[in-house]
Structure 1
Amino acid sequence: MYGRIIVAVDLEQIEQGRALLARATSFLDAGGEIRLLHVLEEVPGYIAAELPGDISERRRAAAAVELRAMIDPNEDVRVVHEVRHGPASGQILQAAEDSGADLIMIASHKPGLRDYFIGSTAARVIRHATCSVLVER
């Protein structure tokens, strides 16, 4: 069905990410690729000033380890992982464009008050994606 799938994973909701990955494998064409993507939000400057200088790289490395752990080496599916920095919706959309994705899969949560004012990540991805988007709830 799809040749390239982006699976956006929030590592704080790892079980949702595992479920999305399992579902993505059933949608993938033979010879296709799944890209597990986690986006680290930027740390505000006033907080970053008080943190060790290498905190950004340590966060990236820890996220990469968690994403790698999600990949089943016995599965006959090409799965790669990527960690990006920045606003989640923008980075998900950019990753989809960079990889030529046919489908973005993302989990949604129950919206909080903040989401009603500025919108959730999933809602922003849906509005701006140039490919299909599957939102898992």
Structure 2
Amino acid sequence: MYKKILVPMALDHDISQHTLKVARALGGSACDIIALHVYETPQGSASAYLDKTVVNEGFAKARRLLEEKLDDSEGITPEIIKGHTARTIIDYANANEVDCIVIGSHKPGLSDYFLGSTAARVVRHAHCAVHVHRNSQP
């Protein structure tokens, strides 16, 4: 059994409830489960044209959405941080002594046929066990 499981959550996909169930099954009752959403701030020239209050409001909205998604989920700690999705998931897992990541994968493009791009990067670079849950929907 794992002691600390990280479940990355995309707020615009419904796969997260499935990955949370997988995490519970893998960790048992004594496991710490962290539901992590990585908020990607606008990059490059786009960020020069955005007011910081707009970005902060987007971050606050994402935090509310994460908390709403976890309303019925006891024993799960919500976390939201800014960064690049795959790299931030890996860095968070390393910094917080996570021993397993449960990540969803869905609708891959041609270049990421077997796994979604974020899941593929996490699998390749994580220093802990990674369980990938494939969405069964086409």
TM-score computed with the length of structure 1 as normaliser: 0.84
Identity %: 37
CA shift for structure 1 position 114: 5.4
Matches within 5 A, 1:1-137: 1-13=1-13, 15-72=14-71, 75=74, 78-113=75-110, 115=112, 120-137=117-134
**Aligned residues: CA RMSD:** 2.0
> Judging changes above 3 Å, is the alpha-carbon distance between structure 1 residues 93 and 74 closer, same or farther for their aligned structure 2 residues?
closer
Aligned length: 132
Distance (Å, rounded) in 2 between the aligned partners of 1:74 and 1:64: 16
Higher strand share: 1
Distance across 2 between alignment mates of 1:89 and 1:100: 17
Q: CA offset at residue 72 of structure 1?
A: 4.2
| Structure 1 segments unaligned to the other structure (5+ residues) | none
1:76-130 superposed Cα distances (whole Å, 9 cap, x missing partner): xx211111222211100111112211110111123214547xx811111111111
Give CA-to-partner distance per residue, 1:43-63, whole Å, 9 cap, x none. 123212222222222222111
Unpaired runs of 5+ residues, structure 2, are: none
Structure-2 change in CA distance of 1:29 and 1:108 (3 Å): same
Q: Give the residue type in structure 1 aligned to 2:11.
A: L
> 1: CA distance between counterparts of 2:19 and 2:132?
9
TM-score, length of structure 2 as denominator length: 0.83
Contact 2:22–2:102 at 8 Å: present in 1 too?
A: no
Cα gap change, 1:49 to 1:6, in 2 (>3 Å) = same
